Amino acid sequence: MSIGHTLLGILETGPRHGYDLKRAFDERFGHDRPLHYGQVYSTMSRLLKNGLVEVEGVEPGEGPERKRYAITDAGVTDVAGWLGRPEKPEPYLQSTLYTKVVLALLTGRDAGELLDVQRSEHLRLMRELTQRKRSGDLADQLICDHALFHLEADLRWLELTAARLDQLAREVRG
């Protein structure tokens, strides 16, 4: 999971102080593992260096938490590219996929689109596994089945999540 893309995505919804950024991240994505301040500062400085964010203003006082960050056009393009790119299908992708769905909805993008692309990617792997299963021996079949079921489970979870969050987002917006 890419913390940089996630923070960028959060910034796309509006400029924030470093402290706000951490809180927003923890609230939505860091249930089990809150972000260190250090991680926020180092990521921000990397993004600043790559021109994906800019410092919009500084509050009086000391420390990076006083800085107010904003996303640049390059940063928005970078987020879009990341969201549109399917993850390599593998089991237990949920935290990344979840982050992507939430960010897509947060930034007003179509989660269904993301889902279709990801499903297609999953299916490509699943086709390969199915093919291998059909030509392989029993051990192959069992291993492939395991992978297939997990991939399918992830897809179904993703579909359900997208549907639920979409509904939630509509309720929040509406």
Partner 1 sequence: MTTADQLLNAAGLRKSYGPTPALDGADFTVGPGEVVAVMGPSGSGKSTLLHCLAGIIRPDSGAVHYRGRELSAMSDAERSALRRSEFGFIFQFGQLVPELTCTENVALPLRLTGMGRREAEKRAAGWLERLEVDDVRHHRPGQVSGGQGQRVAVARALVTGPRVIFADEPTGALDSLNGERVMQLLTDAARDTGAAVVLVTHEARVAAYSDREIVVRDGRVRDMAGAL
Give Rg (Cα) of the chain.
19
Q: Identify the residue among 119, 143, 161, 169 touching partner 1 (CB under 8 A).
A: 119
Degrees, nearest 5: CA angle 80-81-84: 80
- Cβ nearer to partner 1, comparing 50 with 167: 167
CA angle 115, 121, 125 (to 5 degrees): 140
140-159 residues near partner 1, rule: CB under 8 A? 148-149, 151-152, 155-156, 159
Identify which range of 22-30, 55-63, 72-80, 117-125 contacts partner 1 by CB under 8 A.
117-125
**Nearest residue to 115 via CA among 126, 123, 107:** 123
Region 55-114 residues binding partner 1, contact defined as CB under 8 A: 112
Does position 116 interact with partner 1 (CB under 8 A)? The reply is yes
- CB proximity list for 78: less than 8 A, separation 6 or greater: 5, 8, 52
- Residues interacting with partner 1, by CB under 8 A? 112, 116-117, 119-120, 122-123, 126-127, 129-130, 134, 148-149, 151-152, 155-156, 159, 163
